[in-house]
Amino acid sequence: MKSLIKKSWQVSWPMILIMFAEFIISITDVYIAGKLGKEYQASVGFVSQIYFVLIVVINAVTMGTVALISRKWSEKNEKNLKISISTVYYFALLIGFITTIFGVLFAKKITLLMPIHKEIRNIAAELAYIYTFGVLFHYILILTNGVLRSINKVKLSLLTMIIICLSNVGLNFYFVFHTNLYFKGIALSTVFSVIIGAILNTIYLSKYIIFIVPKIEIITKVLKVGVPSGILQIGWQLGSTVLFFIINKLKTNPVEVMAAFTNGIRIESAIFLPAFAFNMANAVIVGNLLGEKKKNEAYKNGIVTAIMGAIIVTFMTIIIILNANKIANILSNNQVVIKETVKYLIISMISEPFMAFGVILGGGISGAGDTKSVMKIVLSSLWLIRIPLAFIGVVFLKFDATFIWWCMNLSIFIQCFLIFRHYKSKRWQKDEL
């Protein structure tokens, strides 16, 4: 057991710090937006949903890349490893360029068509337009971070994310409060920082990136794993966006609740830090062990990693519940927003340990290449339970925001149960790359 815990922790602790750096960036955006006003805070939360749609493709490609490269790394064939890494890198460049052009041309227009309050919509549109200029570099950053952790160089990825965090936070305060950019500085600081990160990671991987014609068969394998993951992420993000629309239908304080939801999910992202860190670590661990043909060890490591992550999340959940009011007061000066943020946190925290356990097991399943099963389970719990119940409760039954938060909990409980049942079946071990 000690060896399993040690192996999981060696891969997981740098990922936790990487996720913490991303959390600091995210919470700084919300904090600064809160200083500008509730409309800006709500806009930052909403535009993050729009921006995620633009990067969902590379998130999917990275999931497939991790599953493939982690196995290639275990096979100890340097030539094949370089060909695989170079292929996915060039592929990321291509789709990143295409997505950037699309974003620059249409992101602002699409945001302006969204059915939310005009004051929020106009601010979000300006932010979305600026964010799109960093999409290409964000694609390279996300892809190369995935490659680095797949070849056991996650500490280099950690170094990059620390530099990005310091850059983003520093530029955020400077642009917003010391230049004429005002709220636009929130987006511009992110663009500059991801450019720095993309360049650093490319330098780290320069020995593996060679001049070749990308191999179609490698891209096909990556997409086989990545496409279901991409569909999952699109479905999840659309679900989050729909929740904003449902909140917009509330009879009382919809803007304040929207700001509170923005605050809540940013605070909640602190809980997601270890959960998704262990999720990504589990994908690498399971992928490496399956590459070595150690199926039983892969299964056991996945369980141990999930339990470790769930224990850490449980402790963090307790801390946030006990300090919910203090945390909410830091992020907003509006008493209604503070009250709704506290309410969201106390309710949503109940399901966090279950979320962590399911998410981490899902990482192991995805690392084995079985992203289809994870996609089906997560999207079913979201679109057949969370969204319909929340919509009916708010639009037809006239319930308040509390009902939405309990619908979210229910979907997570069911999601965790179904993922655990699938993991226990071991059917995911049959996938070959």
pLDDT in tens, 380-389: 999 999 999 9
pLDDT band at 4 (very low <50, low <70, confident <90, very high): low
Q: Tell me the one-letter amino acid at 8.
A: S
Q: How many CA atoms lie within 13 A of 264 on its CB side?
A: 27
Query: In the prediction, which pLDDT does 27 show?
Result: 83
d(CA 417, CA 425): 13
pLDDT band at 240 (very low <50, low <70, confident <90, very high): confident
Query: In the prediction, which pLDDT does 142 show?
Result: 96
Mean pLDDT (the chain, rounded): 90
> Which residues contact residue 78 at a Cβ distance below 8 angstroms, ignoring those fewer than 6 apart?
none
> Which residues contact residue 47 at a Cβ distance below 8 angstroms, ignoring those fewer than 6 apart?
111, 124, 127, 128, 131
Q: Tell me, what DSSP letter sits at residue 208?
A: T
pLDDT band at 114 (very low <50, low <70, confident <90, very high): confident
Alpha helices in 323-370 (DSSP H): 324-331, 335-348, 352-367
Mean pLDDT of 329-343: 90
Give the tokens for residue 275: 């959960």
Q: What is the pLDDT of residues 115-160, one digit of tens each?
A: 777 888 889 899 999 999 999 999 999 999 999 999 989 999 999 9
At 140, give phi and psi (nearest 5°): -65, -40
Q: What angle do CA 32, 36, 38 make, to 5 degrees?
A: 100
Asked whether the predicted pLDDT for residue 265 surpasses 90, the reply is no
pLDDT band at 217 (very low <50, low <70, confident <90, very high): very high
Q: Tell me if 29 sits within 8 A of 246, measured CB to CB.
A: no
Q: What percent of the chain has pLDDT over 90?
A: 57
What is the helix (H) or strand (E) element at residue 375, kind and residue range? helix 371-381
Helix (H, G, I), strand (E, B) or coil at 221: helix
* Residue 311: how many other CB atoms lie within 10 Å: 14
Query: In the prediction, which pLDDT does 107 show?
Result: 85
Q: Tell me if 228 sits within 8 A of 171, measured CB to CB.
A: no
Longest dimension (CA), the chain: 62
Q: Tell me if 55 sits within 8 A of 139, measured CB to CB.
A: yes
Query: In the prediction, which pLDDT does 381 show?
Result: 96
Mean pLDDT of 406-426: 96
Mean pLDDT of 259-288: 84
Query: In the prediction, which pLDDT does 1 show?
Result: 62
Residue holding tokens 């503070």?
A: 338
Q: What percent of the chain has pLDDT over 70?
A: 98
What is the helix (H) or strand (E) element at residue 280, kind and residue range? helix 254-291
The alpha-carbon radius of gyration of the chain (Å, integer) is 21
d(CA 190, CA 430): 41
Give the tokens for residue 35: 């200083």
In angstroms, what CA-CA distances link 79 with 72, 217, 302, 342?
10, 16, 29, 54
Which is more confidently placed, 195 or 237? 195
* Sign of the CA dihedral running 289, 291, 294, 300: positive
Mean pLDDT of 183-203: 95
Q: What is the pTM of this model?
A: 0.78
Mean pLDDT of 399-408: 95
In angstroms, what CA-CA distances link 129 with 38, 43, 114, 126?
21, 13, 15, 5
Q: Which of 137-141, 221-225, 363-367 has the largest mean confidence?
A: 137-141
Range with the lowest mean pLDDT among 51-55, 85-89, 197-201, 337-341? 51-55
> Which residues contact residue 30 at a Cβ distance below 8 angstroms, ignoring those fewer than 6 apart?
41, 44, 45, 262, 263, 266, 331
First vs last Cα of the chain: how many Å apart? 29
Asked whether the predicted pLDDT for residue 62 surpasses 90, the reply is yes
d(CA 359, CA 3): 23
Asked whether the predicted pLDDT for residue 201 surpasses 80, the reply is yes
